[in-house]
């Protein structure tokens, strides 16, 4: 009986099996979840609705979610489904990947070129919102995801379109006690003046937030921070934008002008939408660094060699598709008393010859690169005789109630059974499933208690 009640609590909408708790807030929790109908791994936002709100009124107020669901862009979190289960609103999205922009800002030094690139990507997503007639996007860095594979950033807005609904039912307030990363809070450090003053919200409000974010990425600090939220709001509404060159001497004057226009106090003095703002960013020319100048001068000398090496790689791959897999034993690595969530098994003649333990909830499978000092969590270099495994080939996650696997844009694909995985799209993986990392074949196993 108790087990049935527990399972009912972990199931939402009769479809989604809740996995790992990702974030908790005043009103919304987010999880990973497993769609039992499609076998997809998704992100799931769950909100407890007010008991006093009539169901018909709730559905009417949530209709903008249908418009948000239709929005698709590489730089916007996609919504797949939403519904009401009892007193719970649930929204199914693409699964979470990467880390928040806030985490990047807290732990990395962001140079001018990277700051500009991140802002352009975010503006591209915002442009799609504005073209669909959607404005009032929450652009706090806690709600922006950076997914880095290799050396490239993919920037994505994770706003799911609930701010107007939460405001209407009284869930959004401006108080010192609320967490700044909670979707139900209004943080004046990242808000246009009209949010703070209760004015009309439009695409220009989003442009203001973009200018504010760009300032923060370039300088490493917020433009307006008072002793409390009220003082911060007053500064946001009245103070001029500080000179970014005070904090970063490489900032071009043209970029300062863009930020100042984006953050104009009056809406009609700003860029009217993300498209115009993005065009202004595209016209910014940054001076080449010394490293870029050296790389540019050597590019022509190496391009022919690079093409020839690619041809050799392609010729090798063309010769091995039907070749039998050769499995070599990897030396055992002791994990002491570390918990083993699952393991990858190397097999020969249907017998296990080696196992590689998965001792973390999220691991990268790939091959080491001594020249770059890189080593993945599970290194397949010793069995990858044809060098078909990428440095960061695939990611396996334990989601509390299930496991998932996703390809990390590998050169030679990841296959789950006979299914080639779509890059960066997690799939559920079960005990006994065969996985191919390039030409390396392994079986996924979950230890039995």
Average pLDDT over residues 2-11: 54
Cα gap 26→11, rounded to integer Å: 21
User: pLDDT per residue over 314-349, tens digit each?
Assistant: 443 444 444 333 333 333 444 455 689 999 999 988
Looking at residue 97, its pLDDT comes to 81
- Other residues' Cβ atoms within 10 Å of the Cβ of residue 193: 20
Looking at residue 446, its pLDDT comes to 93
Confidence label for 52 from pLDDT (cuts 50, 70 and 90) = confident
Tell me the domain boundaries of the chain. Answer: 2-93, 99-282, 342-445
391: pLDDT strictly greater than 90: yes
DSSP 182: -
Looking at residue 290, its pLDDT comes to 53
Is the C-alpha dihedral spanning 50, 54, 59, 61 positive or negative? negative
For residue 197, give Cα distances in angstroms to 189, 233, 269: 14, 9, 17
* Domain topology for 99-282: Transferase(Phosphotransferase); domain 1 (1.10.510)
What is the bridge-based pairing of β-strands 403-407 and 427-429? antiparallel
Which of the pair, 72 or 7, is modelled with greater confidence?
A: 72
User: pLDDT per residue over 152-203, tens digit each?
Assistant: 789 999 999 998 888 888 776 655 444 555 666 788 999 999 999 989 999 9
Residue 212: which of 191, 238, 183 has the closest Cα?
191
Q: Which range is least confidently modeled, 210-224, 335-349, 434-448?
A: 335-349
Highest mean pLDDT among 55-69, 126-140, 292-306: 126-140
142: pLDDT strictly greater than 60: yes
Cα gap 403→34, rounded to integer Å: 9
With vertex at residue 442, the alpha carbon angle to CA 436 and CA 448, rounded to the nearest 5 degrees, is 135
Looking at residue 316, its pLDDT comes to 39
Looking at residue 225, its pLDDT comes to 93
Average pLDDT over residues 128-148: 94
By CB atoms closer than 10 A (0-12, 13-18, 19+), residue 24 is exposed
User: pLDDT per residue over 245-300, tens digit each?
Assistant: 999 989 999 999 999 999 999 999 999 999 999 999 999 988 766 555 555 555 55
H-assigned helices in 358-442: none
Cα gap 289→30, rounded to integer Å: 41
Identify whether the C-beta of residue 415 lies closer than 8 Å to the C-beta of residue 436: yes
Long-range pairs for 317-324: beta carbons < 8 A, 24 or more residues apart = 317/386, 317/388, 317/412, 320/386, 320/388, 320/439, 323/439
Cα gap 380→363, rounded to integer Å: 13
The answer to whether domain 2-93 has CATH 3.30.200.20 is yes
Class of domain 342-445: mainly beta
Average pLDDT over residues 301-326: 44
Q: In what order do the strands lie in the sheet with 342-348?
A: 351-358, 342-348, 440-445, 434-437, 414-416, 419-420
- The phi, psi pair for 152, rounded to 5°, reads -105, 140
């Amino acid at each position: 009986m108790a087990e049935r009640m527990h399972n009912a609590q972990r199931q939402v909408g009769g479809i989604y099996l809740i996995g790992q708790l990702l974030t908790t807030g005043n009103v919304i929790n987010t999880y990973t979840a497993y769609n039992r109908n499609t076998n997809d791994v998704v992100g799931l936002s769950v909100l407890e609705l007010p008991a006093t709100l009539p169901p018909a009124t709730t559905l009417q107020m949530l209709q903008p979610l249908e418009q948000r669901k239709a929005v698709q862009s590489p730089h916007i979190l996609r919504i797949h489904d939403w519904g009401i289960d009892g007193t719970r609103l649930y929204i199914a999205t693409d699964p979470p990947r990467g880390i928040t922009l806030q985490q990047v800002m807290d732990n990395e030094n962001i140079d001018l070129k990277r700051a500009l690139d991140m802002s352009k990507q975010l503006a591209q997503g915002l442009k799609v919102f504005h073209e669909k007639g959607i404005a009032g996007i929450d652009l706090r860095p806690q709600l922006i995801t950076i997914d880095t594979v290799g050396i490239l950033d993919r920037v994505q807005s994770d706003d799911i379109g609930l701010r107007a609904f939460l405001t209407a039912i009284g869930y959004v307030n401006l108080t010192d006690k609320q967490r700044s990363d909670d979707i139900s809070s209004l943080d004046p450090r990242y808000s246009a003046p009209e949010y703070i003053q209760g004015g009309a919200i439009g695409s220009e409000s989003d442009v203001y937030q973009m200018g504010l974010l760009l300032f923060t990425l370039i300088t490493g600090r917020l433009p307006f921070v008072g002793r409390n939220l009220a003082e911060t709001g007053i500064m946001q509404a009245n103070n001029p934008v500080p000179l970014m060159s005070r904090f970063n001497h490489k900032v071009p004057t043209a970029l300062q002008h863009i930020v100042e226009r984006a953050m104009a106090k009056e809406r009609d003095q700003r860029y009217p939408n993300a498209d115009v703002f993005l065009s202004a960013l595209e016209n910014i020319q940054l001076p080449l660094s010394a490293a870029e100048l050296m790389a540019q001068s050597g590019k022509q000398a190496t391009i022919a060699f690079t093409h020839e090496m690619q041809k050799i790689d392609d010729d090798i791959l063309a010769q091995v598709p039907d070749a039998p897999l050769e499995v070599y034993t990897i030396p055992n690595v002791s994990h002491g008393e570390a918990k083993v969530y699952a393991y990858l098994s190397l097999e020969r003649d249907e017998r296990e010859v080696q196992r590689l333990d998965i001792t973390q909830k999220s691991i990268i499978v790939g091959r080491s690169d001594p020249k770059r000092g890189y080593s993945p969590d599970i290194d397949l270099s010793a069995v990858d005789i044809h060098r078909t495994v990428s440095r960061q080939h695939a990611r396996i996650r334990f989601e509390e109630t299930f496991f998932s696997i996703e390809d990390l844009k590998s050169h030679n694909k990841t296959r789950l059974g006979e299914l080639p995985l779509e890059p960066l799209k997690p799939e559920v993986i079960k005990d006994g499933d065969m996985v191919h990392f390039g030409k390396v074949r392994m079986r996924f196993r979950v230890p039995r208690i």
